């Protein structure tokens, strides 16, 4: 089963700061991810992004966990599918948006085994980036800049 992570940044002109509205997908190319350590991830996200709220849904069909944080200097909504193969970033905003967004994607990538095939995909034109473990934050940022101009 091929599932995606939906990534959305809001783009509007707000006082000279551009915000982007896009949908991207981050996908571990596996049917199930039995190695995902949810307890460790919850501890790590709370340490890295203090004040993150966690909501678990027993009725959601695909994405059953949601993490939300609306603090300064970043805000995000992050979901994960039941098979633990995909993160869905439904909203992301920060002061240094593209760099922080790339950093967030790279950080999420570390929760999948290094030898696994993980991709970042832009749904509109199907451009994609292989998120191999040697990809840097600057590699991801460059791809985001090229993809969204």
**CA-CA distance, 108 to 80, in Å (whole number)?**
11
Contact partners, residue 51, CB within 8 Å, separation at least 6: 69, 71
Mean pLDDT of the chain: 83
Element containing residue 108 per DSSP (H, E): helix 97-109
Residue 149 pLDDT exceeds 90: no
Confidence grade of residue 14 (pLDDT, cut at 50, 70, 90): very low
Of 138 and 132, the structure prediction assigns the larger pLDDT to 138
What is the separation of C-alpha 26 from the centre of its chain, rounded to a whole number of angstroms?
Answer: 7
**CA-CA distance, 146 to 149, in Å (whole number)?**
5
Please, how many CA atoms are within 13 Å of residue 17, restricted to the half-sphere of its CB?
11
Element containing residue 23 per DSSP (H, E): strand 22-28
Span 79-91, pLDDT tens digits: 899 999 988 888 8
Which has the closest alpha carbon to 32: 94, 107, 83, 66?
83
Question: Cα–Cα–Cα angle for 129, 133, 136, nearest 5°?
Answer: 70
Judged by DSSP in three states, 88 sits in strand
Confidence grade of residue 121 (pLDDT, cut at 50, 70, 90): confident
Residue 56 pLDDT exceeds 90: yes
């Amino acid at each position: 089963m091929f599932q995606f992570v939906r990534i959305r940044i809001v783009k509007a002109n707000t006082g000279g700061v551009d915000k982007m509205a896009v949908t991207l997908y981050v996908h571990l190319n596996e049917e199930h991810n039995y190695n995902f350590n949810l307890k460790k991830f919850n501890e790590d996200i709370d340490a890295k992004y203090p004040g993150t709220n966690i909501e678990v849904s027993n009725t959601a069909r695909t994405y059953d966990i949601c993490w939300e944080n609306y603090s300064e200097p970043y805000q995000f909504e992050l979901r994960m599918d039941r098979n633990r193969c995909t993160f869905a970033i439904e909203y992301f905003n920060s002061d240094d948006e593209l760099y922080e967004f790339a950093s967030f994607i790279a950080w999420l990538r570390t929760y999948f085994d290094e030898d696994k095939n993980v991709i970042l995909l832009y749904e509109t034109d199907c451009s994609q980036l292989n998120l191999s473990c040697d990809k840097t934050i600057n590699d991801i940022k460059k791809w985001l800049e090229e993809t969204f101009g």
